[in-house]
Amino acid sequence: MYFFDLYDYYTYNSDETTWYNTGRNYVGVGCAGFIKPNDFADYGTTADATRDAFLKALSEWFLASSASGNAYIDGFTPINYRPDSGCTPTYNEIWVNCMYDYCDWQVSKYELMGTINLNRYYYNAFTNPPLNYPDFVGKTYEEFLDYMITYEDSYTGVSTVNISIYNPYTSSASAITKTVNFGTSFEISDLKVKVNNYDNLMKKFMCSVKNMMAVIDGDTFDELPYDNNLNFSPNNGENYTIW
């Protein structure tokens, strides 16, 4: 089980507007339980710590599952073998595919977390009931943006980030450089795009994890891989791959 999805830490109404409904029922760490933009930094930190524990466990499972061993071809002569010898794709290839899906998901999280403070969604929430956050009442949206960029670690434009993964070919960590597009527009529609992209790419990553476990261990799950629309289908009891 994983608990590094932001949804695990950010409670929202279950109507069609979900995250975007300023009248939602929520639990937050801000003053009087209010959801302030910088509360997301706390949620993100907690989610990252749980993600790191998940990746550590996943890496240890992969190392144990793909470790080489000795066999005896005539009962006496040892030969070294890998459990995926002769397989296509190899376990390493499946792992790397999973890690690239992980990197794509991390990019979507950087883009969401780096800009969530800037969205007009929060300006509207803080300058109108029910939150009525006093620091921003009477200030323009441009003043709100300037404050968030200056003091709340928000980002605009395009940048790069190095994401560390375990490299099975070198048996060490490798850094993958990815482009992060924070954008320059932060309307509510832009927030919806970032949230949905984050959600879809997390589903894709979790599908890759399940795919890897299905191939290596023969595991089956309650969900099967996403289709072209990133939807899961009910499990029919068969193992699966996404190749």
Over residues 148-177, the mean pLDDT reads: 91
Give me the residue label for tokens 């929202």.
Answer: 12
The 8-class DSSP code of residue 136 comes to G
**Tens digits of residue pLDDT in 156-166:** 999 999 999 99
Express as a percent the part of the chain with pLDDT over 70. Answer: 63
Distance between CA atoms of residues 211 and 109, nearest Å: 22
pLDDT in tens, 177-214: 999 999 999 998 898 888 888 888 888 888 888 888 88
Cα within 13 Å of Cα(34), Cβ side: 14
- Among 5-9, 20-24, 207-211, whose mean pLDDT is lowest? 20-24
The pTM of this model reads 0.77
Structure tokens of 182? Answer: 């924070």
Q: What's the pLDDT score for residue 98?
A: 92
54 alpha carbon, distance to own chain's centre: 12
Structure token pair of residue 110: 């950087």
Write out the DSSP string of 29-42: SSGGG---TTHHHH
3-state helix, strand, coil split of the chain in percent (to 5) is 50, 15, 40
